[in-house]
Chains A and B, each alone.
Chain A
Amino acid sequence: AQTVTQSQPEMSVQEAETVTLSCTYDTSESDYYLFWYKQPPSRQMILVIRQEAYKQQNATENRFSVNFQKAAKSFSLKISDSQLGDAAMYFCAYMGSNYQLIWGAGTKLIIKP
């Protein structure tokens, strides 16, 4: 069975600086998708970025980028120029051939003004 591990329960960063959130996963599949979702205090689950495993190029979305290491089964999220609005829980998730999402436990990101 697939698993997703986020080893950092909480991270903090100074506003305008860069922070990296870690995620590792375990799977025997070769084709799959990986996601980072953001959950602010409003509870809404918001897609931040997605990566298709067959693509070697790392996904980027404005200030958000990933470091996808397929052989190491690692999928970290880098947030550049951190803003107060980035404060939230961040969840890493895996989707394999059955289209079901497997979630990590989340990392709470605190932004210091």
Chain B
Amino acid sequence: NAGVTQTPKFQVLKTGQSMTLQCAQDMNHNSMYWYRQDPGMGLRLIYYSASEGTTDKGEVPNGYNVSRLNKREFSLRLESAAPSQTSVYFCASNPLGGFGADTQYFGPGTRLTVL
């Protein structure tokens, strides 16, 4: 049981390049989330998926797209990376509706630098 996994752990991009951050969970959770964490700030929600087949915008969605590929996987895509997207990205999941539905479980994070 690996919990929430994210790939890659580190990535450096040039302005204008695109990339996809991958997230997978093996806990059969319904809801999945993408956050970004900037220095001196708490996490901010980019997008979330309350259940398979649905996605919704969070607080800071501009410049990002997401795909809930299946119940396990939730990817985050940067179509044209900008220096303002330099951040640490976290994926999380929670059961939603079951025991412990309120607790989110986090992946190890991806440190992204855009030059």
Interface residues in chain A, defined as those with a beta carbon under 8 Å from any beta carbon in chain B: 4, 9, 33, 35, 42-47, 50, 52, 91, 93, 95, 99-101, 103-106
Contact = CB atoms under 8 A, between A and B. Distances in A.
18 contacts: A9-B40, A35-B103, A44-B106, A45-B106, A47-B103, A50-B103, A91-B42, A95-B102, A99-B31, A99-B50, A100-B33, A101-B45, A101-B104, A103-B43, A104-B42, A105-B41, A105-B42, A106-B41
Contacts of B103: 35, 47, 50
How would you classify the secondary structure of chain A's contact residues: helix, strand, loop or mixed? strand
Contacts of A44: 106, 108-109
B115 interface: no
A93 B104 CA distance: 11
Contacts of B41: 105-106
Given A45-B90, A95-B102, A103 B108 contact: no
A106 B88 CA distance: 15
Contacts of B58: 100
A99 B109 contact: no
